[in-house]
């Protein structure tokens, strides 16, 4: 049995941008403090929601270092260090470990893809190079690669591969992973609308987009589940469901950055090729936020 990295709601935090497209570290600090003060259980930096795909090597490293220093041990910081180039993923993972990251989030190789054997070798190469735990990130809709359940079993045998972020949307698959891997591989939901079913199967929490805007509520949904208060968890999750889904009315993280801007956080826009939503979608998002009292 491996040590659990975190339990509850970890925020897949956005990367705020200045008007010139550079990273706004002051705003990133504000968001980290906002999340910590509202009971977020972990910070996930430089993930998909953090626009890691359009960061330079230096920006990627600087964001990881900044988040670790800002959190200052108050909650775990998990660094996104995945790549479709195993050698680069190893180098970035080593840097994150050297800076003090508590764990790594490593997405499956994208575009070039690979076989299941290639996946095992890819993850083992990274896990052999570090001494901190790894969360494998399965998001086939973005990468074109799906980690087979049998591959999850093989990954779970490595002492440093501790968990999987499951964003396939397939609850039956999550049940199969839990049955096959047991306590050797923790499961985190990669979808905010599937927190309750995944936690009911023994999942440890969620890596959340919703937490950017509603960290306490997302934490509370998880906490209710841990306390076997599933009626309360369902009531809160269903109340927020329209907004939860609204955060994906356009390509993530376009809507969540828009929502944060509406809330007054001034996180800027996404980098191209991601662009601002049409006004009709912005108006719809505002209406959803008003409906749940997030804004007036």
Establish whether 124 is a catalytic residue. no
Pick the closest to residue 192 from 237, 234, 230, 224 (CA basis): 237
Establish whether 165 is a catalytic residue. yes
Cα 208 to Cα 16, 35, 42, 218, 221, distances in angstroms: 17, 12, 10, 8, 12
Long-range contacts of 187-192 (CB under 8 A, 24+ apart): 187/163, 188/10, 188/135, 188/163, 188/164, 189/165, 190/137, 190/138, 190/139, 190/165, 190/166, 191/167, 192/218, 192/244, 192/247
**What residues contact 82, with CB distance under 8 A and at least 6 apart?**
89, 105, 106, 107, 108, 137
The Cα 63–Cα 27 span in angstroms is: 12
Instruction: Tell me, rounded to whole angstroms, the distance of Cα 3 from its chain centroid.
Output: 19
What is the DSSP secondary structure assignment for residue 17, as one 8-state letter? B
Which one from 70, 137, 204, 257 is the annotated catalytic residue?
A: 137
Which one from 165, 188, 204, 257 is the annotated catalytic residue?
A: 165
Pick the closest to residue 257 from 22, 12, 9 (CA basis): 12
169 neighbors 189 (Cβ within 8 angstroms): no
Q: How many of the other CB atoms lie within 10 Å of CB of 209?
A: 26
86-99 vs 116-129: helix crossing angle, rounded to 10? 30
**What residues contact 210, with CB distance under 8 A and at least 6 apart?**
192, 217, 218, 240, 243, 244, 247
Place of tokens 């093989």: 154
Catalytic residues: 137, 165
């Amino acid at each position: 049995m491996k040590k659990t990295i975190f339990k509850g709601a970890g925020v897949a935090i956005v990367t705020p941008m200045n008007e010139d497209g550079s990273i706004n570290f002051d705003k990133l600090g504000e968001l980290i403090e906002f999340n910590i003060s509202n009971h977020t259980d972990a910070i996930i930096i430089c993930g998909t929601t953090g626009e890691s795909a359009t960061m330079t090597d230096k920006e990627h490293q600087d964001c990881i270092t900044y988040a670790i220093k800002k959190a200052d041990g108050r909650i775990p910081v998990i660094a996104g260090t995945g790549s479709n180039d195993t050698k680069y993923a190893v180098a970035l993972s080593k840097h994150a470990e050297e800076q003090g990251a508590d764990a790594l989030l490593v997405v499956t190789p994208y575009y070039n893809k690979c076989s299941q054997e290639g996946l095992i070798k890819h993850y083992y190469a990274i896990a052999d190079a570090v001494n901190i735990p790894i969360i494998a990130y399965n998001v086939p809709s973005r990468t074109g690669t799906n980690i087979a359940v049998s591959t999850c079993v093989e990954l779970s045998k490595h002492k440093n591969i501790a968990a999987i972020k499951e964003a396939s949307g397939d609850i039956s698959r999550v049940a199969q992973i839990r049955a096959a891997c047991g306590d050797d591989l923790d499961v985190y939901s990669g979808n905010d609308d599937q927190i309750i079913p995944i936690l009911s199967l023994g999942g440890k929490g969620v890596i959340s987009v919703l937490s950017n805007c509603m960290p306490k509520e997302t934490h509370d949904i998880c906490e209710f589940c841990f306390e076997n208060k599933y009626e309360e968890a369902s009531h809160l999750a269903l109340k927020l469901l329209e907004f939860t889904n609204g955060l994906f009315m356009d390509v993530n993280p376009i809507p969540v950055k828009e929502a944060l801007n509406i809330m007054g956080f001034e996180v800027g826009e996404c980098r191209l090729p991601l662009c601002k939503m049409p006004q009709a979608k912005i108006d719809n998002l505002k209406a959803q936020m008003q409906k749940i009292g997030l804004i007036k």
